Structure 1
Amino acid sequence: MKIDLSGKTAIVTGSTEGIGFAIARQLAVAGATVVVNGRNEAKTAAAAARIREGVPNGQVRDVAADVSTTEGCATLVAAVPDCDVLINNAGIFEPVDFFEATDDVWDRHWQVNVMSAVRLARAYLPGMERRDWGRVIFLGSESAFNIPADMIHYGVSKTADVAVARGLAKRMAGTGVTVNSVLPGPTLSEGVAQMLKDAQAATGQSLEQAAAEFVRRQRPSNILQRAASVEEVANLVTYLASPLSSATTGAAMRVDGGTIDSL
């Protein structure tokens, strides 16, 4: 089985690091022309350069735009008017107790995690429908189903992502366009590494050990009993972005290590 995305243009929002960067790199390996996106111009250009260095003959562009805003989404669409694959990866998380989470906290998570994806899907899906081929993937989270008590605002935003993806899949019924969501569990991204920094300092554990301890303590239903790598998440996303996934749409695909305790 060979994934070939030659001739396809793929946009990955929030792809300067973490899961987004791993997805962008995997799509470039598969032959897609990849658009790396981030808010900071220098960081976005550097991420694109890193992919070019690691993927000989890879076709990679960089577009700096803050997709949490209407203006930022418009900037991205103006730079890349059409795409075949849209990966709505841009996202944030911040542990804040419900009674301390202000309207600003809720709104920031909503704009970054949900509205960026809504705006870009609205912009790019009509072109995919005209061409009768396209892939839209929302990065959700196991937290969409296991709402974390210390990040209710985050969990709610990810539940919304899964719901929008399901609704859009129905809206695109009968076309060659599929829409799915992907649900990572705890993943060794830069954000998680930052969150675990104090635990590492206190225990002397490696990042992998600290992450595994976090998983066992905070996600006891996790069957892997470790954090996933960003590449493991990117593998599933790359498959869903390919022609091989043509019969999968409207699905919430789990790469959560079995954390969601359901059949």
Structure 2
Amino acid sequence: MQIDLTGLTAIVTGSTGGIGYATAHGLAASGASVVVNGRTQGAVDKAVATLDAAVHDAKVTGVAADLGTPEGCDTLLAAVPQTDILVNNVGIFGPQDFFDTPDSEWQRFFDVNIMSGVRLARAYAPGMVERKWGRILFLASESALNIPADMIHYGFTKTAVMSIARGLAKRLAGTGVNVNSILPGPTLSEGVAEMLRGDAEKTGKTIEEAGVDFVKSHRPSSILQRMATVDEVANMIVYAASREASATTGAALRVDGGVVDTI
């Protein structure tokens, strides 16, 4: 199977690094015209330049906008009025005890992780319906089902986007617009690598080996027994965004290494 996205436009939010950047790379390599997004112009320009250098004949542009705000979403919509593929990847995470998490932090996680995708899907879906084809993807997490005790405020946002994706898929039934959520497990993105760096330096292990230790300690149900790479997660996203995924909608597609202990 060869995925060819030539002639399609794809927006990947939060795509200056990590899973988002890997997804933008995969979509661009498959022929899509990709819109990179980040909060700062410098980060966006760097990601666009890196993609241009990495992908032959890449068609990549960028929009700097903080999508955790209505104004940021408006900025993106003004720059890119329509799209065929929307990957709602932007998100924040970080451990914090339930009793130490103030209202403001709950609101910040809600605005970035949930409302960014809600606003953009609400704006872009009608055009997809009119053209009778589209793909909307929400980045959830295995933490949506396996709520981490030290990141309850994060886990709840990922459960919410799973619900939104399922409900929106039903709302758009029969239109040719498919909506799915993607559930990565522990993934060795730049942010996670930085989190592991201290332990790696203390033990003399590589970041990858520290990732294995983290998975075995904090996600013992993992069948993969290591962290996924960002490219492994992006591969699932690119497939779900493709024409080949024509019968896949309303699904929660797991790339969690088997962490969630259910069939």
Q: Structure 2-normalised TM-score?
A: 0.99
Counterpart in 2 of 1:54? 54
Structure 2 residue 148 is the aligned partner of structure 1 residue 148: yes
CA apart distance, 1:130: 0.2
CA apart distance, 1:81: 0.1
SS of the residue corresponding to residue 260 of structure 1 reads coil
State how far apart, in whole Å, the 1-side matches of 2:7 and 2:96 are: 43
SS of the residue corresponding to residue 196 of structure 1 reads helix
Matching residue's letter, 1:67? L
Counterpart in 2 of 1:72? 72
Q: Cα deviations across residues 88-134 of structure 1 (Å, max 9, x unaligned)?
A: 00001010000001111111111110000000000100000000000
Give 1:61-210 correspondences, 5 Å limit: 61-210=61-210
Q: Where does structure 1 lack aligned partners over 5 or more consecutive residues?
A: none
Counterpart in 1 of 2:37? 37
CA apart distance, 1:191: 1.2
State how far apart, in whole Å, the 1-side matches of 2:246 and 2:148 are: 33
State how far apart, in whole Å, the 1-side matches of 2:131 and 2:60 are: 22
* Coordinate RMSD, CA, aligned: 0.5
Matching residue's letter, 1:153? H
CA apart distance, 1:195: 1.3
SS of the residue corresponding to residue 72 of structure 1 reads helix
Counterpart in 2 of 1:246? 246
State how far apart, in whole Å, the 1-side matches of 2:131 and 2:254 are: 29
SS of the residue corresponding to residue 50 of structure 1 reads helix
Q: Cα deviations across residues 117-152 of structure 1 (Å, max 9, x unaligned)?
A: 000000100000000000000000000000000000
State how far apart, in whole Å, the 2-side matches of 1:11 and 1:238 are: 12
Q: Where does structure 2 lack aligned partners over 5 or more consecutive residues?
A: none
State how far apart, in whole Å, the 2-side matches of 1:116 and 1:129 are: 20
Percent identity, aligned pairs only, is 61
SS of the residue corresponding to residue 167 of structure 1 reads helix
Counterpart in 2 of 1:228? 228
Q: Structure 1-normalised TM-score?
A: 0.99
CA apart distance, 1:194: 1.6
* Residue-pair matches, total: 263
Task: Extract structure 1 runs of 4+ deviating beyond 4 A.
Answer: none
State how far apart, in whole Å, the 2-side matches of 1:165 and 1:261 are: 22
State how far apart, in whole Å, the 2-side matches of 1:105 and 1:94 are: 11
State how far apart, in whole Å, the 1-side matches of 2:192 and 2:105 are: 19
Matching residue's letter, 1:87? V
Matching residue's letter, 1:65? A
